[in-house]
Structure 1
């Protein structure tokens, strides 16, 4: 009897390990390639143009990289009489400094992921939804109209 329970427990643990290896991502998903949007069409891969002012670093210079990712879910809303919203705001800053501590280059980007859900707790967007960053959105970000200098 003891052997039966040990065998059953071993099989259950093995099955749970294998279940953990499964994925609910769409077939062919890659974070680096074209993505299928929630409408079913594939997004075109975006090309990253060369920077307007490439960083000039002397050969052999000692450089250090700093990275910060700041997340907030403070704008999320509970579901009550109306549907709820799970919102994650993430800001990413990467800094390159030289041996004297001077900033050589700095990149800043952010993403606002809004995930609405029903009063019953059902997601109202597809699990394959990809949220674009502010740098990826460019003009579609829509802040130009609020800008005092007319820039995004």
Structure 2
């Protein structure tokens, strides 16, 4: 009997030891899991990707017809956006570069090739929509209302917007935005689909643009005229210290041909691609001393800009407008003046 009691006590004590060990291990495991969860947690609304969406149309261009002289009009819609881990819009900017290149009855260029061309946002009140608006709001005001409506929504929710003749029919927008929005929605969707990751800490995103028609030409002899509109676009994400944590560079190089009789020969319903979208078809590689296509050189430039402040970027060492920085001379030989000025604009416009 005494032996049985002794054995029973030993077994009970052993069980208590095992129970204590198991409980301690479970508690340690729970704590570890909590720590892992905390480390992996992304703050709600934190920006993790940025995107650039765009679309170009020349449908409003006109051929010579009686008293109507040739007009080449290039409308490039642009949307810069930042998204959180759930795909919700954290920041968005909508803009349109509506660039008109004028010719006379002799198909001679009359627009100033060195002129300053502004987007709808840059024009502000000078765009002139307010006086024709039923809600008495300028284009930039209506675009701002649309942007505000998009914030906090997923792209799927935004694309499901109720429309009437391509205008917002949503109760929150009908008194603040009566512009057609189909092209803006399409550009936002493209921005999301093409979004790239940014480094941690992004707090705002901006869009910078620059427009040039310098390569346009008048008709001469048997050669027709050319209207060429180069719209440079730059999206930048900045952290709280103003350091670039992500950037996207692209150029919409749109060409409209006009014959000696003043007739537009370019398909007005055509598909117009940017330099990034053209990829290898842009054709820079065969003429490049470093054998790199335009999109590859742009990617190298984007990588170099990331981690630097705007002041450091604008101080880039150049030689004849091309990078002379040790980190870039073998990866980017394109002229970069337009890309530097647009990232500077994008930073100023960031929100």
TM-score, normalization by structure 1: 0.61
The whole-number CA distance in structure 2 between the counterparts of 1:78 and 1:116 is 10
1:42-99 per-residue CA deviation (whole Å, 9 max, x = no partner) reads xxx9xx5674xx3242xxx461222111110111111232211111011101111011
1:68 alignment counterpart: 208
1:137 aligned to which of 278, 291, 294 = 278
The whole-number CA distance in structure 1 between the counterparts of 2:217 and 2:261 is 14
Moved more, 140-149 or 91-100: 140-149
2:220 alignment counterpart: 80
2:263 aligned to which of 92, 113, 122 = 122
Q: Secondary structure at the match of 1:129?
A: coil
The whole-number CA distance in structure 1 between the counterparts of 2:256 and 2:203 is 39
Alignment of 1:1-152 (within 5 A): 32=186, 51=196, 54-57=197-200, 61=201, 63-81=203-221, 82-152=223-293
Q: Secondary structure at the match of 2:289?
A: coil
Q: Secondary structure at the match of 1:76?
A: coil
CA RMSD of aligned residues (A): 2.5
Query: How many residues are aligned here?
Result: 106
Moved more, 107-116 or 78-87: 78-87
Counting helix residues as a fraction of each chain, which structure ranks higher? 2
1:26 alignment counterpart: none
In the alignment, structure 1 segments of 5+ residues that lack a partner are 1-29, 34-44
Determine if contact 2:224/2:259 at 8 Å carries over to the other structure. yes
Q: Secondary structure at the match of 2:234?
A: strand
Moved more, 102-111 or 141-150: 141-150
1:118-149 per-residue CA deviation (whole Å, 9 max, x = no partner) reads 11211011110221011111111111112222
Determine if contact 2:203/2:237 at 8 Å carries over to the other structure. yes
Determine if contact 2:198/2:237 at 8 Å carries over to the other structure. no
Q: Secondary structure at the match of 1:64?
A: strand
The whole-number CA distance in structure 1 between the counterparts of 2:230 and 2:198 is 29
Q: Secondary structure at the match of 2:276?
A: helix
The whole-number CA distance in structure 2 between the counterparts of 1:50 and 1:66 is 14
In the alignment, structure 2 segments of 5+ residues that lack a partner are 1-181, 294-351
Change (3 A) 1:124 1:99: same
